[in-house]
Structure 1
Amino acid sequence: MIRIFRTDAKHPDFKMLVAKLDADLAQRDGDEHSFYDQFNKIALIKYALVAYEEGVPIACGAIKQLEPNVMEVKRMYVTPEKRGMGFATMVLSELEDWARELGQKTCVLETGKRQPEAIALYTKNGYTVIPNYGQYAGIENSVCFEKHLLG
């Protein structure tokens, strides 16, 4: 049975999964990792999810306020042995529901071009490519997405 738990960035299982995500990204991003890492600190994240299967943490994700009516999706991760089973879509859907409950209109996110599975996930779930925003503007390895949330 899958259980998705709403929490914040202080939760130990969220922190543990984020550490695994950071290790994975450090390998993928190589020398560019320190640039991206500066934008992925979790201390200020108020809205985080941890997905559990049989009590074991297997996936996480978070949203944070980017600007009025816009939430940014952050720290999406599924443990390697659980990938391809729909857990990322479950977490993403729950994050979108939470954003709607908070009165938000849009979710945006950034991912790397070296993460084709992430690009496929967001495309499959109705996200469209937008010009790179904020700190990602002009960054060649970044691709940004948005999805308008319907009430």
Structure 2
Amino acid sequence: MTAEIVEVDFLDPRVLDLRARMGAEMGELYGTPRHSVGAEDVTPESVLACLLALDGDRPVGTVSLRRLRDLVEIKRMFLLPETRGTGLAARMLAAIEDRARAVTDRVVLHTGERQRAAIALYTRSAYEPIEIYEPYDQVPESLCFAKRLDDPALL
């Protein structure tokens, strides 16, 4: 897929629509909206970057980077189902890691154990499992990962 990846505001309406779709998909997958436990709350002030993937002018994916206490966290990565398996997810992950390198040498992320494709992507992209960090220690089925960005072997 030849989607263009652009940086946009975290509250861009196209991103809001994609995040709403993500919420619905996660609700179907886990049976309860994940944001209901409060762990998925992201304040716009904490966001360091928000990317949007466009296929022409059609929004097809998003990912954000935020500061969470002393961590820099990749957040809210979502692609429309029909774009999955095209390589776009890996491109988006690499693009948000590039933004992260400007502020940190390590990123973390959270996903759920039922999100097999996401886990496979993170594993292929050199992310290592880590201890579940707050606030996800309150979210059932949580998995957390980290990646060093300063190790040339991982670039």
TM-score scaled to structure 1, two decimals?
0.89
Distance in 2, matches of 1:139 and 1:12, equals 27
CA distance in 1, matches of 2:18, 2:33: 21
The partner residue of 1:64 within 60, 63, 66 is: 66
* Contact 1:10 1:43 (C-alpha < 8 Å) held by counterparts: no
**Residue of structure 2 in register with 1:6 after alignment:** 7
Q: CA deviation at 1:42?
A: 4.0
Indicate the RMSD between aligned Cα atoms, in angstroms: 1.8
Q: Match of 1:146, SS?
A: strand
Match in the other structure for 1:105: 105
Partner of 1:141: 141
Aligned to 1:92: 93
Q: How many residues end up aligned between the 2 structures?
A: 148
1:72-83 pair list within 5 angstroms = 72-83=73-84
Matched letter for residue 94 of structure 2: S
Which structure 1 residue ranges, 5 or more long, are not aligned? Answer: none
Q: Which runs of 5+ in 2 are unaligned?
A: none
Shift of residue 139, structure 1, vs aligned partner: 4.8
Cα offset, 1:35, TM superposition: 4.4
For the residue of structure 1 that corresponds to 2:11, the secondary structure is: coil
| 2:40 alignment partner, SS class | coil
* Code of the aligned partner of 2:54: Y
**Would the aligned equivalents of 2:65 and 2:74 in 1 still touch at CA under 8 Å?**
yes
| 1:150 corresponding residue in structure 2 | 150
Q: Which residue of 1 aligns with 2:131?
A: 131
Contact 1:4 1:91 in 2 (8 A): yes
Deviation at 1:118, TM superposition (A): 0.7
TM-score of the superposed pair, with normalisation by structure 2:
0.87
Q: Please say which of residues 137-146 and 104-113 is displaced more in the overlay.
A: 137-146
Q: Contact (CA 8 Å) 2:26, 2:33: kept in 1 or not?
A: no
- Displacement, 1:60? 0.5
Offset from partner CA, 1:102-143 (integer Å, 9 cap, x none): x21111011000110110010011100001111223755011
SS at match of 2:5: strand
Query: What is the aligned-residue identity percentage?
Result: 32
Q: Which residue of 2 aligns with 1:48?
A: 50
CA distance in 2, matches of 1:92, 1:13: 19
Instruction: Check conservation: 2:5, 2:51, Cα contact below 8 A.
Output: yes
* Matched letter for residue 8 of structure 1: D
AA in 2 matched with 1:91: M
